[in-house]
Amino acid sequence: MKFLMRFFSLIHGLMAVLFTCAALLLIAIAARVGWGAFTGQWDEAGALSVIEALGLLAGAVVALQIAETIVEEEVIREADVSAPTRVRRFMSRFLVVVVVALAIEGLVATFKALHQDPSQLRYAAWLIASTGLLLACWGVFIHLNRSAEELEPEAMEDAKREDKKMR
């Protein structure tokens, strides 16, 4: 069984490396797009290029955060994500980045639609509305999960001890 757990840690580590590589590639592409906007005409097309670069950077942040979460939770801590406290903390780390990235993408889509194709504005609105719905559902999840945490106070203490190990 220990071999299997080490194997899973190795696979998780590989996944984290791949997410990191994807993030670095997105950062490089965003820098290239941003540099093109900086050296080109400072007009509406340049502004759209900067907005596009922001969207790429938001994707890079999500990829890096996923990589960091995988490394901390699955490789370093080898945490069991079955306790309510661990589930809430794992989901919260992930969702905070996803919600922010989706909100940024919604703004990018809105700006693009306003300046290029107003018929696409409804899709941007749906993206922003679904991001708001995700945020609301996350709040409900946290509220309901806290009740479960109160039933297992030892799980919260275990999570706090693990946090001290990480520092």
pLDDT digits (tens, 9 = 90+) for 21-74: 999 999 999 999 999 999 999 988 888 899 889 889 989 998 998 899 888 877
| 18 — pLDDT class (breaks 50, 70, 90) | very high
State the pLDDT at residue 30. Answer: 97
In the predicted structure, residue 164 carries a pLDDT above the cut 70: no
In the predicted structure, residue 166 carries a pLDDT above the cut 60: no
User: Domain limits of the chain?
Assistant: 1-78, 81-167
DSSP assignment of 30-92: HHHHHHHHHHS--SHHHHHHHHHHHHHHHHHHHHHHHHHHHIIIIIIS---TTSHHHHHHHHH
Nearest to 104 by CA among 41, 26, 38, 37: 26
State the pLDDT at residue 20. Answer: 97
Given a contact cutoff of 8 angstroms between Cβ atoms, the answer to whether 44 and 115 are in contact is yes
Side-chain-side CA neighbours of 41 within 13 Å: the count stands at 4
Percent of the chain, pLDDT > 70?
A: 84
Percent of the chain, pLDDT > 90?
A: 38
Mean pLDDT across 120-149: 90
For 64-100, how does the pLDDT look when each residue is reduced to its tens digit (9 = 90+)? Answer: 988 998 888 777 776 555 566 777 777 888 888 889 8
Better-scored residue on pLDDT, 165 or 57: 57
Q: For residues 118 and 61, what is the distance between their CA atoms, to the nearest angstrom?
A: 28
| 163 — pLDDT class (breaks 50, 70, 90) | low
Query: Residue holding tokens 């999500």?
Result: 62
State the pLDDT at residue 83. Answer: 64
State the pLDDT at residue 23. Answer: 97
Q: Sign of dihedral through CA atoms 33, 34, 40, 41? A: positive
